[in-house]
Every structure is written in C-alpha cells, then in structure tokens.
Structure 1
Amino acid sequence: MSCTRSKLVGARFFSAGLQAELWLAGDRGKLPSKEDLSSPRDYVGHGAHTLSTAGGSLVRGAGAFGHGTGVAAGGAPRARVAAYKACYAAGCSDVDVLAAVLAAVADGVHVLSLSLGPEEASDYLSDPIAIGTFFAAQSGVAVVCSTGNSGPRPGTVTNVAPWMFTVGASTMDRDFPAYVTFGGSLTIQGQSLGASTLPLGQAYPIVSGENANAANQPTSNSSLCLAGSLDPAKVTGKIVVCVRGENGRVEKGLVVKQAGGVGMVLCNDAGSGDSVVADPHLVAAAHCSYSQCARLFNYLHSTDNPLGYISATDASFGVKPAPAMADFSSRGPNAVTPQILKPDITAPGVGVIAAYSGAVSPTDLPFDDRRGVPYNIMSGTSMSCPHVAGIVGLLRTKYPSWSPAMIKSAIMTTATTVANDGNPIQDDTGAEATPFSYGSGHVNPVEALDPGLVYDTTLADYTNFLCSLKLTHNPVQDLQVSLPVGLPNLLVNLSVTANLLLPLFNAAGEPCACSQGPYGRPEDMNYPSIAVPCLSGSTTARRRLRNVGAPGKYRVTVTEPAGVKVTVAPDELGFGVGEEKEFTVKLDVADAEAASNYAFGSIVWSDANGSNAYGSGMSKAHRVRSPIVVKTKCG
C-alpha cells in the first residue's frame, strides 16, 4: 500500500451549537482569550489531537502519562495537513466555519475533516455549513464529519446531509484499567490515567462524599464533590467516593485533593450507565461504572470502618468485546431526511492517544495550567472523525480517479458489524447495537482497499435528491440574511461565493431548476444504505453499482428486517471492467406491527469466485454490504 500525499484539514467539535457571539475589536472592555488570537498556535489542544489522528507522522515512544507507549501515526502519515481556525473562546459561528470550508476548497485540499457540528440537525438549505460542504463535494473534496456527542438518545445525530461522511464513535480493544480493592478481597475495575498510585497493600479509610459534607452544604452537593462541599475533617487521609455529574470528572479529584483526600473513586450514576473514561486525574483515582460501584456502595453501607486502596496498571490490550458503541455517540434516525441513514459508519473514538498542544494543559482546565504533555488521551466523535478522514486520504491517493462518493461507499460497504468476540457489536449497555448507532458498521480500512463494487453518488443524484424534497425557500437569500451585521472582512467574498454554493445540474451536466422535474423520491438516491421510514404496503428503492475490480459475477444475499419481505431484482449481476449496473430493492409489509418502530436488515452482494486482489494474484471474495432500515408506522 502506497503512502498518501493527500491534503487534509482538521477542526474543533462543539456539541453546544455553532451559534456564538463574536469578539470584535471594538469591545474595549476586555482583552480576548488566547483562543481568540489570530495565531496558528493551538490554545485548546483539540485541533492538534484531531489533526495528528488524521495525518500525523510516525513517532516512536509516544504515550499518554506513561500509558500505552508505542509508535504513534496518523491515518495518512505522509499527508500534507492544514488547519483553518473557525472557532474561538465563545464557540463556533456558522459563517466562520463556512469561510474556513471555502478557503480550504480554494487551497486545493482533498479531504475535509470536520470535528464540529450543530446542536441539532437543520434543513440542508438553511444551514450554511451544509451548503458550504455541498460546494466542497461538488469541487471533488471528500467531507468527513462527526456525528455528535449527544447520545445515546435517538434522533440526535447531526451533520446529516448525504454528501457528508458522518462518523460515530466506538471503543478499541485497549483500555487503561484502575482497580479499587476493599473489604480485604473485593475488587472492582474502572479506568484512569491518574499520575499517582497509592501504595499496594496499604489500606486507607473510604468515605462516601454524601457522608463527608461540609457545614451548610447539602449532601446532594457533597455526593457530587462540588467545589467547597467536602469537610476536610471528614476527608483528610481518606479515599472519597464521588458521583459523576455537574462538575468535571478531573475537577472532582481536585476538590478531593484540596480537602485533604488521598484518592477518589468516581462512580457513574444510573443515567451514565457503564461508560467510563480514562482521565489524567490529579489524585489516585478510578472511574467505575454504575454496576461496579453498586458493589462498593453496598460495602460502605455494611461496615462502620470501610478500608481499601486504588491501584493502576499500564494499558491493557485484547479487551473484549470490542468495538462497542460509546454512550455519548449521537444516534439516528436522521431528523431532517430519515430516508438517508445516519450515521454512515463508526470508528475509534474512546481513549484515543494523539499529539497535543504544549500551550494548554491536558485537561484544559484553569486549575491544571502547569502540566504540559506532547500526547494526550481524548474521547468523542471528534476523535473518530479523523480516523476515517485519514483512511479517506489513503484511498484518495491509491485511487485518484475515484469520486468522494466512491471512496465513501468503499469504506461503508466493507465495514464490519461483528466484535472481536464473534458476536454483534454492542451498545454501551450490552444490548446489540443497530445501524442507528454504527451506520454500516465499524470501519475496516484493509477491506476498503478492495471493495469490488461501489455506489457512486453523482451530482445529478444530489440534484434529484434535493429537488425531491420540494424545498420552497432560497438558500442564498437565507444565507445573506443570516450574516451578522458588522462582521469583520472574511477570507472569501461571500457575496460572490454564495451564488456558487448550490448550483444544481441535470444528468447532462447543465444547470437546471427543480421545476424541470420529476425527480423521484429521497429513498431512490444512489446511497450505500437503504432507509424507508414510512412503509405502507409496498415500495421499491433503486440503486446502481459500479465495478472497480476485475470482471466478475455477483449474487445477492438478503437478511430481511422483521415483518418485511425483501426482493432484489435482478438477484445476480455480471460486471465488466468499470461497468455500472442497476437493480431494485422491493420492500413488502408482511407484519406491520413487527416493523412499527424500525426493523433492520441488509443486502450483501458477493462474487463466488473472488477476484485478483491488490494485483497480487491471490483470489479474494468480496462482500458489498448495505444496511436496510424500515419502519411501517409513519411519523
């Protein structure tokens, strides 16, 4: 496999929304924070982390706080990378992100890695970022975006436009274990990157934060270990058990340390479930799941003299099951057009080690301003997005003639839905995950190098899709109205560029208007997945597959969603070199109740005889898989 020379761009994710106040030079009452400086220096750390994940060079001896030490490399380690600043201390504004996207396209990037997004998905033609990334897609630029960090609630996925490659977050087979031993022989496991470890075998008193409240502090505050809530007389020399919520996880450890505590057990509440995070704590600490902590709380309630200690080890590999979906990863369905399944795919986004800015502390908290690290560990869909962006960069170099949609299809249709224990990928609760969590599955970059067949979504397909939505407003007018008064000069001229953002073309490549229709239905767009959110009786979706391998014959295998009969016609396709063939997928309701609240299936095209993979002379069978999502109850 050749190394890539593609160019990528990274950015910051803000789950709190893209609308933000701008700091203007005319505001003389205060100075800007470092984040507001017009400087290439990363004063947050997020940008360095995401960009190095996508295109960082190979570095030996990299690790986070002595954990997980090894060779670090980005997904496309020889890529030329660029970062465009679009976010400031107050957040990210639509127009700043739009300006950054347009500037990157003008500079000739091949891949946009956008670890940012709105709080909620919005109409494509009233969202300047969706408009800008459509312009990027029209210009041949692949756009990779985070799905959002608002999971596990359904319908929270953002960046849902079909020209965006939307990435969820899942775990790896590596974690950073920390153990809490109590009652002599009872042990529970959590995670931590805490710099200090209490001496093995030396037991310390353990106290619940609820029972260590300071005077005039309610137990509801002390149980959470909020600032000033703990009584030093009750905490000094002890391990304190704090409940997750309200203040930051690392900040709780600082509260314990300031009150004289020697360690902290951070326990999830019921709402946080079993999802735990390895943080660079300021005291010996272990972040444990709700179910694990239930054993600890039972022990605390059963004795008057609870004792225990905290210990940690280096990174643990071969963890099973993995991958599993992160609880924070935003879920489908697509709230704008449910006929387009989102997210598209999932990738590693939990406990990711990557380069970090030396201008900021590893926790990005004001009380932790004396620690500087070259590498840090972070979690979020911001971290999973650049994993896929790097893979896109590699494919872009290996197949320079492929469109962004072909690269996207190669990655989606070769993804896996099986964890390393041989069972289906799980949600954080242990339940079987669905395409609303992982899209087509977990990314498998080696398989994506030789997909066999791809779905090529063309500009004509996007035109038909947008016209099929029967939108009534003018996106250019909406964009110009939304621009804030007194906005500083941008790097691009929006009054000119806005008129170029959304030209629609017919199959002949000529400009057209939606009034020239008909344009079919959204579910007919040539996408690598199939979603029908309001199936009544019967419907048929149309798709096209292009051969990007050797000539061959493919047959289809169907896994039917519960309550739905699926018929693919034809069920066999023969391809010459570069040939494209059409087929239909007919969906008939067999049991409306069984599919009333979404049912899931798939179709898989495979060539029985394999083909010449990688030009090596070795035969390899292809599996081109597309998920199917169906719901019979409308609304």
Structure 2
Amino acid sequence: MISKCSKIIGARYYHFNITVGEGEIPSPRDRLGHGTHTSSTAAGIGVPHANYSGLAGGTARGGAPSARIAIYKVCWNEGICTDADILSAFDDAIADGVDIISISIGTQGIIDYFEDSIAIGSFHAMKENILTSSSGGNSGPNSSTIENYAPWLLTVAASAIDRNFVVQTQLGDGQDYQGLAINTHGLNGVMYPLIYGGDAPNVSAGVSPSDSSTCNLGTLDGELVKGKVVLCSEVRSGLGPQLAGAVGAIMQRDGPYGEAYQFTLPVAVLGSNDSAHVLNYVKKSSNPTASISKSRGVSDPKAPYVASFSSRGPNPVTSNILKPDLAAPGVNILAAWTPSSGEDYAIISGTSMACPHASGAAAYVKSFNPTWSPAAIKSALITTAHAMSPTKNVDAEFAYGAGQLNPLAATKPGLVYDVGEKDYIKMLCAEGYNTTNLRAVTGDSNICTSTTNGTMSGLNYPSIALRVKPRKSFSNSFQRTVTNVGKSNSIYKATVSAPASIKISVEPDTLSFEALLEKKSFAVKIEGDAEKAILSASLIWSDGFYNVRSPIVVYTLKK
C-alpha cells in the first residue's frame, strides 16, 4: 500500500498567456475540485467511511490504488485551458516518464487532428509508448458531438451506476412526487409557499415571465420568491432561486435522465409530466405549498446505461473509426474533493468522471503487461468490454462504443489488435493529409508519399465502423491482424452476429497459433442494404476460453 505522503510524486502548473484570476491559486493546487475528483478516481488509495454529507457511504478507492500520480494543472478561471499549456503539459508528462495520461478535458466543435492540441499531444505520447485516456464530452445526446476522437486516444463515454439519489416533493394537496437530486439537507417536512417562476419575473430588470420561468440567475423577483419554493421550467444551478431568497426549488427536465444534480439548496428535479401536475396545482390552488426532502440513495436496476449528457458518435473526422471506444461509470460518482470547499468528498457526473475509471483500468492492465503498446492496452479494454443493450441506448455503439469497461478481463484478453506510429501515419495520409499538416501532428520529419499512403479502412482498429448511403447496397472489406497474448497453442474460431439486412463474412474464419506474440491476419467483408440509420453487429474470436469481441457498426450518411 502506498502511503498518503508518496501518492503524489510530481506537480506542475501552466498559465501561458493567462491572467490568474481572483480566487485562483498560482500553483498546482486544485481550487474547484475537478482535478482532485478525477485523480482520486483514477488512483486514490482506499479510504473507509467515505461519504458526502451522509450520502453514498462506503470505502472510496481509485481504479489503480497502488499507482502514483503526477499532476499537470492546465485549466484556470472556470475551465479556460490554452493549447500552449496543454501541449507543454504533455511534453513534461512524456519527459517525466508517466505510464498513462488521463485527461478529462474536451475540445470544442469539430477540429482536425493537426489543429487539436490533445490529439497532437497524445500522438507524441503514443510515440513514447504512453496511452492517453480521454473524456468523450458532455454534449449528448445529439449525434456527432463526441470529443477527443483521434484514433490513438482512448475515448470514454459516461454510464450510470446502480445507485441513484432521489428526493420526495410533497404538495399541500397531499400529492407526492419522487425526483432526482443530491440534497445534503431538506425542508424537514415543513410546508412552504409554492410559486411558479413565470409568475415572479424581475420586472425592474426587464425580465419577461418566460425568462423568469427558467429561474436563471437574476430573473426572479426577490420580494415575490423570498421564503418560498419556486417551480422552474428548466434545470439550472439553483443559484437563481437561492440568491433571490427562495428556500427550495422544483425543476423540470424533459427527456430521459439518470444523473442526480448537486445543489446548495433543497431541489427536486422532476420529469415533464410530474412538473405539469405541479404547475396545474399552483395555478388552481389559492394557497399552494410544498416541501422537499433530503436525498436518499436507491438502487437503479436499469444500470448500466449511457447518460443522456454523454456525447455521441459517429466520429466527425474519421468516419470508419468508432467513437466512443467504450463506456465507464460517470454518473453520481463519489470521489475526493478539494479541501477549500469544506468537503472531503463530492458526488458529480460527467465524462470527466468516466475517463479516470478507464485510466485506472489502463494502468491496471499495464501493470500486468508492462511491455504492451498503447494500442494493445486499448484493444484489451475494448475487446473485453461488457456488451450493452441498444434498447436502453437508442444510439447503440455511438453511445457506448464496445460497451461497459471490464478491467479484470482486460488483463488477459487472449488477442490484441496492435497499431504503431507508422500505421497511424498511413491512415492520416489516406485521409488526405499533406506533409505540412502531417508533421503538425507527428512533430517529426515524416512525409506522405505513395509508399506511406494506406487506406482509411485499413487501420488495425479493434472495432469497425462503416458509413454507407441510405437505401443503397454496399460491399466493403476490412483487413485486420491480431496478436496472440493468450495461450501459446490455441485455435480461435470466428462467430458473427448481425441483423438480417447485412451479411458479414470472415476469411479465414479459423486462426491457429503456435506461439505467444504470433500474428495472424484476416479480412472482414460487410455487404447488404442499409435499412436503418444504425445497424449493430459484432465479431467474436473465441478459443473456448478467451472471447475477443469487436463491435461492428454500419450507419447511413445524412441526406
């Protein structure tokens, strides 16, 4: 067991061309808590009796508790992070000899690899045998919102765990509604006047009823809402009602949701139907009242499923590379928090929380297989992931990639799909990169020539994505090579699962190995008609002990 004093073995901070603002700490120390939370999730030692104000009690432990941590602080002023600082941090981490880089920072919009500091920095890390694990972004559930989609990155989506936090909302007419929220205290059963935010606009500030219904900061009239519970049409931070003097808030959220938001005043987040009932009660009652309880933990039997906020594929730049790669716990995660907040722990959600779960798993896999390349570690994590249900996640693989992270199986995957720097260069050249923008990524003297040009479908990736035209027949082949890391003498047979509208054949469909690290190649041919926007399939290589599963996705172009 690593002692607390030796857990963090390095810490640096960067603020090139950034003015460190009020309240910021010009040091590696964490002010906001995000870095502490993610670091402890990746590699925190076991701490018994951890909880957040009595919620989620138990032993808190990171994914690789025996690992040591080096900290590189690049973000300031509520999330401002410059490319110069990110690249400098990558350079220092590489020079420091880290094994895994965990980066819970996203890009904004669709950025080509040679303009993306995280893609560039992680490519340099890959060249030095360092895997970079990254968050997939919190812009879901819209399609093609995935962030950090470079093929040499491990891109992680956020899935729900089997614990959620509920609160009860009691109305003066006796009706009771269950919602989601993380409240450290409630209203103790006391009934308070209930008002609709749309009936309390801050008229002196020129706020309309439609704006005040959202309860956004500065939209509410403090004289009207003071000492009351406010009904809001949207989920906000809660600062609007709190600063206006409200004692609590009921907030409406449309569509599916699984994460419980954390608030500093009692809040209940209700679905649209329940919120409509509450609004009807407010409008019809002459003296509407409400009370909101403290949160309590409950089991979520539907888990795991991908959170609605988790960004979705397909990959906006390289269409045949499936992103995200896999899903990991990222909803209602209890982990350490910055001491400056007055709390030792916090419960928050995001792909930022999912990423360090995968980073810890990657470190765990590397501890058993120290000579493996970044691609081999990533392949192990992808091909051993638990398959997830497309009925719970309508975006299927574009929500969860290969499925739910399975660290134990990933230490012994049987076969791996390995990729090196030269393979990525061939892919980039095939994508149309010229020597100038290729070198912007690689940072060396590589060039694109007729001998370096590969095919976009030829990258030896452990998953397959094929974009086709709607209502058109198609036929495409993908070449893959696997390396035996299981048993020296083994025979693997291919099993394909696919919908009736597509045919997938594997040639050869049997691979015989006589030694460890022996390589075998095969071709996957996919043909048929695209009857749906997303068609999910899979290829499993099995020797009776190891099951090496690759997701296959056929999807249509937008009209």
Aligned counterpart in structure 2 of residue 344 of structure 1, from 304, 308, 325? 325
Matched, 1:189 2:178: yes
Superposed structure 1 runs of 4+ greater than 6 Å apart: 5-12
Give TM-score, length-normalised by structure 1: 0.80
Corresponding residue for 2:188?
A: 199
Aligned counterpart in structure 2 of residue 265 of structure 1, from 250, 253, 265? 250
- 1:356-435 equivalence runs, <5 A: 356-359=337-340, 361=341, 372-418=342-388, 424=390, 426-427=392-393, 432-435=394-397
Corresponding residue for 1:527?
A: 461
Aligned Cα root-mean-square deviation (Å): 2.9
Shift of 1:69: 1.4
- 1:469-480 equivalence runs, <5 A: 469-472=431-434, 474-475=436-437
Count, aligned residues: 548
Corresponding residue for 1:364?
A: none
Corresponding residue for 1:278?
A: 261
- Aligned mates of 1:149, 1:503 — CA distance in 2: 36
Unaligned runs of 5+ in 1: 13-19, 25-30, 362-371, 480-499, 505-512, 611-621
Corresponding residue for 2:36?
A: 48
Corresponding residue for 2:158?
A: 169
- Aligned mates of 2:60, 2:38 — CA distance in 1: 13
Shift of 1:407: 1.1
Alpha-carbon spacing, 1:625–1:92, altered in 2? closer, same or farther (3 Å): same
Q: Secondary structure at the match of 1:116?
A: coil
Corresponding residue for 2:313?
A: 332
Contact 1:284 1:310 in 2 (8 A): yes
Q: Secondary structure at the match of 1:23?
A: coil
Alpha-carbon spacing, 1:373–1:406, altered in 2? closer, same or farther (3 Å): same
Which has more strand, going by share of residues? 2
Corresponding residue for 1:486?
A: none
**Counterpart residue type for residue 600 of structure 1:** S
Aligned counterpart in structure 2 of residue 209 of structure 1, from 178, 197, 207? 197
Contact 2:259 2:331 in 1 (8 A): no
- Aligned mates of 2:174, 2:479 — CA distance in 1: 61
Alpha-carbon spacing, 1:6–1:135, altered in 2? closer, same or farther (3 Å): farther
Contact 1:169 1:326 in 2 (8 A): yes
**Counterpart residue type for residue 232 of structure 2:** C
Aligned counterpart in structure 1 of residue 105 of structure 2, from 116, 136, 143? 116
Corresponding residue for 2:231?
A: 241
Matched, 1:570 2:502: no
Alpha-carbon spacing, 1:353–1:253, altered in 2? closer, same or farther (3 Å): farther
Contact 1:9 1:112 in 2 (8 A): no
Alpha-carbon spacing, 1:441–1:606, altered in 2? closer, same or farther (3 Å): same
Alpha-carbon spacing, 1:117–1:601, altered in 2? closer, same or farther (3 Å): same
Aligned counterpart in structure 2 of residue 542 of structure 1, from 479, 487, 495? 479
Alpha-carbon spacing, 1:531–1:389, altered in 2? closer, same or farther (3 Å): same
Shift of 1:214: 4.5
Shift of 1:244: 2.1
Matched, 1:604 2:540: yes
**Counterpart residue type for residue 257 of structure 2:** D
Q: Secondary structure at the match of 2:238?
A: helix
Corresponding residue for 2:69?
A: 81
- Aligned mates of 1:313, 1:502 — CA distance in 2: 54
**Counterpart residue type for residue 486 of structure 2:** G
**Counterpart residue type for residue 171 of structure 2:** F
- Aligned mates of 1:412, 1:556 — CA distance in 2: 17
Alpha-carbon spacing, 1:570–1:308, altered in 2? closer, same or farther (3 Å): same
Matched, 1:23 2:5: no
Give TM-score, length-normalised by structure 2: 0.90
Unaligned runs of 5+ in 2: none
Q: Secondary structure at the match of 1:519?
A: coil
Aligned counterpart in structure 2 of residue 322 of structure 1, from 287, 303, 308? 303
- Aligned mates of 1:478, 1:111 — CA distance in 2: 23
Contact 1:541 1:585 in 2 (8 A): yes
Shift of 1:347: 0.8
Q: Secondary structure at the match of 1:300?
A: helix
**Counterpart residue type for residue 44 of structure 1:** L
- Aligned mates of 2:215, 2:468 — CA distance in 1: 48
Alpha-carbon displacement from aligned partner over 1:5-59 (angstroms, at most 9, x marks no partner): 99999999xxxxxxx99236xxxxxx74343x53121122111111111111111
Contact 1:10 1:115 in 2 (8 A): no
Shift of 1:105: 0.3
Alpha-carbon spacing, 1:502–1:169, altered in 2? closer, same or farther (3 Å): farther
- Aligned mates of 2:228, 2:456 — CA distance in 1: 61
Corresponding residue for 1:131?
A: 120
Matched, 1:303 2:285: yes
- Aligned mates of 1:152, 1:386 — CA distance in 2: 21
**Counterpart residue type for residue 224 of structure 1:** T
Alpha-carbon displacement from aligned partner over 1:424-458 (angstroms, at most 9, x marks no partner): 5623xxxx341111111111112222222211122
Task: Report sequence identity in percent.
Answer: 38
